[in-house]
Amino acid sequence: MSGLFGLPLPLLTDSYKASHFALYPAAQVATAYCEFRHGFDKDAEDERMIFCGLRYIIEQYVARQWTTEDVDMAEAFFRTHNAGFTEYPFPKHLFLKFIAENSGYFPVCIEALSEGSVVYPHTPVFQITAKDEYSSLITYLETVLLMSWYPSTVATLSRRSRTVIENHYRQSVDEDGWWTLETRMHDFGFRGCTCVEQSMIGGAAHLLSFEGTDTLSAAFYAQYRLNNGRPVATSIPATEHSVMTAYSSERQAMLSTIEAYGGGVFACVMDSYDYSRALSEVLPIVASKKLEKGGYLVIRPDSGDQVEAVLMGLRAADKVFGSVVNSKGYKVIRGASVIQGDGVTSASLRRILAAVHDAGFSAQSVGFGMGGGLLQKVNRDTMSMAVKLSSITYANGETRDIMKFPKEGSEKVSLPGRFAVYADPKHGVPVAFRSVEAHPGSENLLRVVYDSGPVDPGVWDDFATVKQRVNDQWSRFPVRAQAVSESLLAYQKQVHAKQEQSVSEGTAFGV
């Protein structure tokens, strides 16, 4: 069996899609495409998004050889899947045909933007083409391909967080301290995930913007599967409440931690009992031992008001270890900092940094961690990723470009036709055009990543290249841009007008 987790490959879709082979009209060619309908949480001020994670889906689920065993198992399942536990229709004949004639590879072509591309609402991020008898399978893979919404959304959230932190770095951090930006947001989300696979692909998406993570599954995957063994992620030794309460006192717990790891960077949670008292009484007692070891202490509150907890930690560290005032006039704690890793959200991140700034501390003296907020509190609607049929050439040779335009849901309008994406000459922003429009000398940014079977592995960039693409495009692209060309928008209006006429005349309903 070729499927993962014991699942036959024909079941990696929605039930209703298995019935569509008998519903689509006979065609020579069918095309569908994918886009994000709006920016992150419909933020109109910054509509930049990061497209990534399709590589994992292609490699793990699409570029696999189906077998007759897959079909037999699917048939056994579908035999009782219809209402009343009766037989459910599925395209067994088509599956067996491409298993015999195409070495078991699903017969579609998929073109996609490069991993790590920064995009805007309505940018076609990938395009599917199916031909001849397989045209009725055009959206069979939609379900699994759409799962790229998850790494794309996590990557966008992480990058938006970096943007907020980076803005405060510009105000309060000297040039020689900017290297710390790479670890200012740490992934603590592994335990909040539904499965190891989610932690791996979501955690790797976070690593496109930061180096800090405790999600080892993602760190390993990014390093050894995506980056040819070159490291991309780091963490530090740290205590937890169970370690702290295992000792007879917090003083003893901290001394033991300093003895073990005090020569390097290490973190210590300090609110197992009384955070304020630990800062005012325990921290001064263990300070000499910490200074003797010469390492760097990260103070971690884990409860209470986030803003107040961070400020309390900074003030206590300043009192015990002292600080230097940098060239921009902000305090940098000597050999210590604070990390807020409990319940951090985009909103609380902004509040904490504003308070730290107002209190006169440099942004490099505070770090952040996200757990469920990073890897769990997102969904497909966060950026509204969707796949829609956009063009069909019927069996008689007639081509019809089509679009969705619901009267009561204009936010779900799709684009008609078959597309190419080109970089605009000003910023390099990806802009959608009809594929029939000529662009001499311009490269179509939609590249073939699967063509009825695996293509050259070189089509996938390594992780370092993808991360560099994110860094470059996010910093260079404007916060808002029109990602659909004027010519395609005009064509969309023409197609809509025809569809509206068809509706008003009743021909769309066969009246």
Q: Name the burial class of residue 150, with classes exposed (0-12), middle (13-18) and buried (19+) by CB atoms within 10 angstroms of its CB.
A: buried
pLDDT score for 1: 56
Residues with Cβ within 8 Å of 333's Cβ and at least 6 positions away in sequence, in order, are: 314, 317, 318, 321, 322, 323, 361, 365
Q: Are 294 and 275 in contact (CB under 8 A)?
A: no
pLDDT score for 420: 97
**Tokens 């560099």, located at residue:** 468
Distances (CA, A) of 416 to 392, 404, 409, 429: 10, 8, 17, 21
Q: Is the dihedral of CA 189, 195, 199, 201 positive or negative?
A: negative
3-class secondary-structure state, position 367: strand
What mean pLDDT comes out for the span 248-268? 97
- pLDDT one-digit tens code per residue, 259-307: 999 999 999 999 999 999 999 999 999 999 999 999 999 999 989 999 9
- pLDDT one-digit tens code per residue, 96-129: 999 999 999 999 999 999 999 999 999 999 999 9
End-to-end CA distance of the chain: 48
What mean pLDDT comes out for the span 344-366? 96
DSSP symbol at 88? P
Which domains does the chain show, CATH number per domain?
9-151+396-509 (3.20.140.10), 237-321+331-372 (3.20.20.70)
DSSP symbol at 350? H
Encoded tokens for 431: 């802009």
How many CB atoms within 10 Å of residue 112? Answer: 26
Backbone angles phi, psi at 455, to 5 degrees: -110, -175
Residue 437 has pLDDT above 90, yes or no: no
- pLDDT one-digit tens code per residue, 191-224: 999 999 999 999 999 999 999 999 999 999 999 9
Binding site per annotation, positions for diphosphate: 191, 241, 300
Binding site per annotation, positions for beta-nicotinamide D-ribonucleotide: 214, 300-302, 341-342, 372, 380
3-class secondary-structure state, position 193: coil
pLDDT score for 411: 78
How many CB atoms within 10 Å of residue 16? Answer: 10
pLDDT score for 409: 66
For 372, the enclosing helix (H) or strand (E) is helix 372-375
Residue spans of beta strands (DSSP E) within 250-403: 265-269, 296-300, 323-325, 331-333, 336-340, 366-370, 385-394, 399-401
pLDDT score for 408: 76
Distances (CA, A) of 211 to 169, 273, 341, 352: 17, 31, 16, 21
Side-chain-side CA neighbours of 499 within 13 Å: the count stands at 17
- pLDDT one-digit tens code per residue, 367-390: 999 999 999 999 999 999 999 999
Q: Are 366 and 181 in contact (CB under 8 A)?
A: no
Backbone angles phi, psi at 385, to 5 degrees: -80, 135
pLDDT score for 181: 97
Residue 349 has pLDDT above 70, yes or no: yes
Q: How confident is residue 2, by pLDDT bands cut at 50, 70 and 90?
A: low
Binding site per annotation, positions: 191, 214, 241, 300-302, 341-342, 372, 380
**Tokens 């395009």, located at residue:** 127
Encoded tokens for 89: 């229709």
Q: At what angle do helices 92-101 and 68-78 cross, to 10 degrees?
A: 170
Nearest to 163 by CA among 181, 140, 177, 180: 181
